[in-house]
Amino acid sequence: MSDDYAKAIPIPGPESLPFWEGAKNHQLMLQKCSDCAHHWFPPSTVCTGCGSRNIEWVASSGKGKVFSFVIFHKLYHKGWDGEIPYAVAIVELEEGARMLSNVIGIPVEEVKCDLSVEVVFEDATSELTLPKFKPV
Amino acid sequence: MMEPSTHLRDKYALVGAGHSRLGKVPGVSAQGLLEEAMLNALDDAGLKTQNVDGLICRGPDEIYTFHQVMGERLGIDASFSTTLTNGGASQVMGVALAAMAIDAGMASCVLVGYGRDNWSRVHANKENHMRGSGRPQQMYGMEFGPEFGYYGAIAAHGFGAQRHMHDYGTTREQFGAISVAFRNHALNNPDAVMKKPLTMENYLAGRMIVEPFGLFDCSLQTDGAGAVVVTSAERAKDLRQKPVLIKGFGTGNNISGWFNGNNMTHTGAIQSGKTAYAMAGVGPENIDYAQIYDCFTYMVLVQLEDYGFCRKGEGGEFVASGALGLNGAMPTNTSGGQLSEAHVEGMLQVVEGVRQLQGIYGPERQVPNAEIGLVSGHGGNTVCESTLILGAI
Ligand SMILES: [Zn+2]
Please name the residues in contact with B83: beta carbons below 8 A apart, sequence gap of 6 or more: B56, B57, B58, B59, B65, B66, B67
How many A×B Cβ pairs under 8 Å? 112
Q: pLDDT tens, position by position, for chain A (136 residues)?
A: 456 899 999 999 899 999 999 999 999 999 999 999 999 999 999 999 999 999 999 999 999 999 999 999 999 999 999 999 999 999 999 999 999 999 999 999 999 999 999 999 999 999 999 999 999 9
The answer to whether A79 faces chain B, any CB pair under 8 Å, is: yes
| C-alpha–C-alpha distance, residues B55 and B83, integer Å | 9
| C-alpha–C-alpha distance, residues B291 and B301, integer Å | 12
List CB contacts (< 8 A) between B136 and chain A. 8
Picking from A9, A68, A80, the nearest residue to B264 by CB comes out as A68
Residue A99: how many other CB atoms lie within 10 Å: 23
Q: Distance between terminal CA atoms of chain A?
A: 24
| C-alpha–C-alpha distance, residues B65 and B83, integer Å | 6
The greatest distance separating any two alpha carbons of chain B, rounded to the nearest whole angstrom, comes to 58
The answer to whether A48 faces chain B, any CB pair under 8 Å, is: yes
Band (pLDDT 50/70/90 cuts) for residue B4 is: confident
Q: Which residue of A has its CA nearest to B135?
A: A76
Q: Is the pLDDT of residue B126 over 90?
A: no
The 10s digit of each residue's pLDDT in B223-282 is: 999 999 999 999 999 999 999 999 999 999 999 999 999 999 999 999 999 999 999 999
The DSSP-derived string for B174-209 is HHHHHHHHHHHHHTT-TT-S--S---HHHHHHSPEE
pLDDT score, position B130: 41
pLDDT score, position B3: 77
| C-alpha–C-alpha distance, residues B28 and B26, integer Å | 6
Side by side, which strands form the sheet with A39-40?
A39-40, A29-33, A55-59
Between the CA of residue A76 and those of B128, B155, B258, what are the distances in Å? Answer: 11, 11, 22
What average pLDDT does range B104-132 have in this prediction?
Answer: 80
The answer to whether B209 faces chain A, any CB pair under 8 Å, is: yes
Read off φ and ψ for residue B210, nearest 5 degrees. -130, 105
CATH fold of B6-121+220-392: Peroxisomal Thiolase; Chain A, domain 1 (3.40.47)
Residues forming a β-bridge with A121:
A131
A101 to B162: CB separation less than 8 angstroms, yes or no: no
| C-alpha–C-alpha distance, residues B243 and B122, integer Å | 38
Band (pLDDT 50/70/90 cuts) for residue B133 is: very low
Q: CB of B293 within 8 A of CB of B88?
A: yes
pLDDT score, position A3: 61
The answer to whether B208 faces chain A, any CB pair under 8 Å, is: yes
Helix (H) or strand (E) holding B14: strand B12-19
The answer to whether B264 faces chain A, any CB pair under 8 Å, is: yes
Q: Is B300 exposed, middle or buried (0-12, 13-18, 19+ CB in 10 A)?
A: buried
Averaged confidence pLDDT in chain B: 94
* DSSP classification of residue B373: E
Helix B297-306 and helix B269-280, axial crossing angle in degrees, nearest 10: 50
User: In the Cβ-directed half-sphere of B129, how many Cα atoms lie within 13 Å?
Assistant: 10
Helix B152-168 and helix B297-306, axial crossing angle in degrees, nearest 10: 50
CA distance B212 to chain A (A): 7
| C-alpha–C-alpha distance, residues B229 and A85, integer Å | 47
pLDDT score, position B1: 67
| C-alpha–C-alpha distance, residues B270 and B266, integer Å | 7
The 10s digit of each residue's pLDDT in B316-336 is: 999 999 999 999 999 999 999
Between the CA of residue A32 and those of A22, A39, A50, B170, what are the distances in Å? Answer: 15, 4, 11, 36
CA distance A99 to chain B (A): 8
B114-128, B139-153, B201-215: least confidently modelled range = B114-128
Q: CB of B159 within 8 A of CB of A68?
A: yes
A8 to B146: CB separation less than 8 angstroms, yes or no: yes
Q: Is the pLDDT of residue B127 over 50?
A: no
A46 CA to centre of ligand 1 in angstroms: 8
